[in-house]
């Protein structure tokens, strides 16, 4: 089967599409382990399984690096500071595996910046005690000492600094893991959507899929429609208000701009998706991020998922007034929980800091989300920047939306149900664990371990 899929013209998910060379996809695929979903978790799992020498087929509904899920963008926080000793331990294991993934792929992924925790709700002293118990280097600074170290931030109480924190380039991580998995023999098929499963008498699973959308002639598309007079066609989400620079992965900011539709084609001559390959596997890893609540019922076995809340989050990038300022990542809880980190490429060509509210997001589903940034969240974040971050120009350069999948206790789901391994490590803090999740998922898929008790499904029953 030929895959005549089209792909985004650039990595911003927008603009005209170009045809990529057709991918040869057989009508039938026999594999040891099928991994559905090539976000941070599925790609890390495929890499881990491939480097252990197993036959893996990674199945992704869209293109690698697309912006409809949870893993796009150049900036995620990596930190050791958690108010929970188990997560402190896991961040250490995961930090080692990030370095391994970097070495294995020759790609820089984790950039150390140091991290700052502040605000009464964040309890810097309590976090310091936990880091001390775990032997993680850290300092507790007075407001004056902190302001001297980071003159572009304001402090009214103690601040915890730990030097091991930093940022992860999520886009680069997904690309590196997929590329390396493929080099190690994994089969990677994109534009192919899992639609259902049946168990075979021999214990294996047969997956049904849909193939790619077929476009006869490619015209400017909409990954998100557009266009209002005076507003440029945009990308997966967003546009451009006067005074706000064009941006990439985000959402609508302009009054009068229609909400977007996550990829609906507008090109005449686009045919619906075709039948995709039939994939038979001994084990199937389901790493579909925010699509999990919609897809769990298609596995053909009962999966007792907890109530998962999918929310549409928004992030904002602000210009650093001093291009030489070395921004740490930070988490500031004084009322709303605000986090920030150097933006990387998502902020544009000038140094910028991504700032967002962790505990705000409207409930959506992965297929019905609209990509529209919540103006109330923009107000809260902008007010925070004005009050606490004098080193930033308080008008967002760009903004973007992204999906959280949240469990009731904010621990992950990572468990095995028959031949399926269910992988849902998000709750807004999963990225930093991706290579560790890849390893834990591989162990579950190969039957080497029981699930981590904190991530087991049985905790909800
Ligand atoms: C705004 C935001 C900020 C965040 N910040 C941080 C942070 O600072 N630090 C941190 O540690 N974590 C952070 N996170 C969390 C982290 O990004 C997520 O935990 C992680 O991206 C989840 O990855 P995933 O692979 O589970 O999901 P996804 O990236 O959504 O991947 C799922 C994949 O499955 C594919 N798929 C879905 N359905 C099908 C199907 N039927 N067939 C085939 N493929 C399918 C999708 O196309 C997608 O590619 C943040 C998340 C967001 C949204």
Q: What are the angstrom distances between the C-alpha of 311 and each of 13, 42, 73, 373, 426?
A: 21, 20, 17, 12, 11
CA of residue 42 to ligand 1 center, whole Å = 9
The single-letter DSSP state of residue 427 is T
CA of residue 295 to ligand 1 center, whole Å = 15
Give the C-alpha separation, 288 to 295, whole Å: 8
Give the C-alpha separation, 371 to 401, whole Å: 6
Q: Are 206 and 278 in contact (CB under 8 A)?
A: yes
Instruction: Note the pLDDT of residue 80.
Output: 98
Q: What percent of the chain is modeled with pLDDT above 70?
A: 82
pLDDT bin (cut points 50, 70, 90) of residue 145 is very high
Task: Tell me if residue 6 falls in helix, strand or coil.
Answer: strand
CB-ligand 1 contact for 35 (6 Å cutoff): no
CB-ligand 1 contact for 431 (6 Å cutoff): yes
User: Whole-model pTM?
Assistant: 0.87
CB-ligand 1 contact for 65 (6 Å cutoff): no
Asked if the model's pLDDT at residue 30 lies above 60, the reply is yes
Asked if the model's pLDDT at residue 278 lies above 80, the reply is yes
pLDDT tens, 188-216? Answer: 999 999 999 999 999 999 999 998 765 54
Instruction: Note the pLDDT of residue 24.
Output: 79
CB-ligand 1 contact for 437 (6 Å cutoff): no
CB-ligand 1 contact for 287 (6 Å cutoff): yes
pLDDT bin (cut points 50, 70, 90) of residue 219 is very low
pLDDT tens, 59-114? Answer: 999 999 999 999 999 999 999 999 999 999 999 999 999 999 999 999 999 999 99
Q: Are 414 and 436 in contact (CB under 8 A)?
A: no
Question: Residues 333-346: what's their mean pLDDT?
Answer: 96
Structure tokens at 270: 């686009």
Mean pLDDT, all residues of the chain: 86
CA of residue 268 to ligand 1 center, whole Å = 31
Asked if the model's pLDDT at residue 54 lies above 50, the reply is yes
CB-ligand 1 contact for 41 (6 Å cutoff): yes
């Amino acid at each position: 089967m030929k895959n005549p899929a089209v792909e985004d013209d650039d990595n911003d998910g927008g603009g005209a599409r170009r045809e990529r060379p057709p991918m040869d996809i057989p009508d039938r695929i026999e594999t040891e382990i099928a991994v559905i979903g090539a976000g941070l978790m599925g790609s890390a799992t495929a890499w881990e399984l491939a480097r252990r020498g197993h036959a893996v087929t990674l199945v992704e509904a869209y293109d690698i690096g697309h912006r409809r899920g949870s893993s796009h963008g150049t900036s995620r926080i990596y930190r050791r500071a958690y108010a929970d000793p188990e997560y402190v331990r896991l961040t250490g294991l995961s930090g080692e595996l990030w370095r391994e993934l970097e070495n294995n792929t020759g790609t820089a992924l984790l950039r150390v910046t140091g991290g700052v925790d502040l605000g009464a709700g964040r309890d810097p002293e309590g976090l310091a005690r936990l880091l001390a118990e775990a032997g993680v280097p850290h300092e507790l600074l007075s407001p004056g000492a902190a302001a001297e170290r980071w003159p572009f931030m304001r402090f009214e109480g103690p601040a915890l600094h730990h030097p091991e924190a930093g940022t992860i380039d999520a886009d680069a991580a997904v690309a590196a893991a997929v590329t390396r998995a493929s080099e190690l023999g994994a089969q990677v098929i994109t534009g192919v959507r899992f639609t259902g499963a049946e168990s075979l008498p021999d214990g294996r699973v047969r997956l049904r899929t849909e193939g790619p959308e077929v476009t006869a002639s490619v015209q400017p598309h909409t990954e998100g429609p557009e266009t209002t007079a005076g507003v440029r066609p945009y990308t997966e989400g967003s546009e451009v208000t006067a005074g706000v620079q064009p941006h990439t992965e985000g959402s609508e900011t302009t009054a009068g701009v229609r909400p977007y539709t996550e990829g609906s084609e507008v090109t005449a001559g686009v045919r619906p998706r075709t039948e995709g390959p039939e994939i038979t596997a001994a084990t199937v890893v389901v790493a579909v991020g925010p699509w999990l609540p919609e897809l769990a019922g298609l596995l053909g076995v009962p999966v007792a998922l907890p109530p998962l809340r999918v929310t549409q989050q928004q992030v904002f990038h602000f210009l650093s007034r001093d291009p030489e300022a070395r921004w740490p990542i930070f988490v500031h809880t004084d009322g709303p929980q605000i986090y920030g980190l150097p933006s990387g490429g998502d902020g544009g060509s000038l140094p910028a800091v991504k700032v967002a509210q962790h505990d705000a997001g409207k409930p959506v589903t992965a297929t019905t989300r609209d990509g529209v940034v919540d103006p109330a969240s923009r107000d809260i974040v902008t007010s925070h920047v004005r009050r606490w971050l004098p080193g930033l120009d308080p008008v967002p350069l760009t903004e973007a939306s992204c999906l959280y999948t949240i469990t009731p206790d904010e621990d992950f789901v990572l468990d095995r149900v028959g031949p399926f391994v269910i992988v849902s490590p998000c709750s807004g803090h999963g990225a930093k664990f991706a290579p560790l999740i890849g390893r834990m998922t591989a162990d579950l898929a190969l039957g080497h371990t029981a699930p981590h008790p904190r991530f087991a499904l049985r905790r909800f029953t």
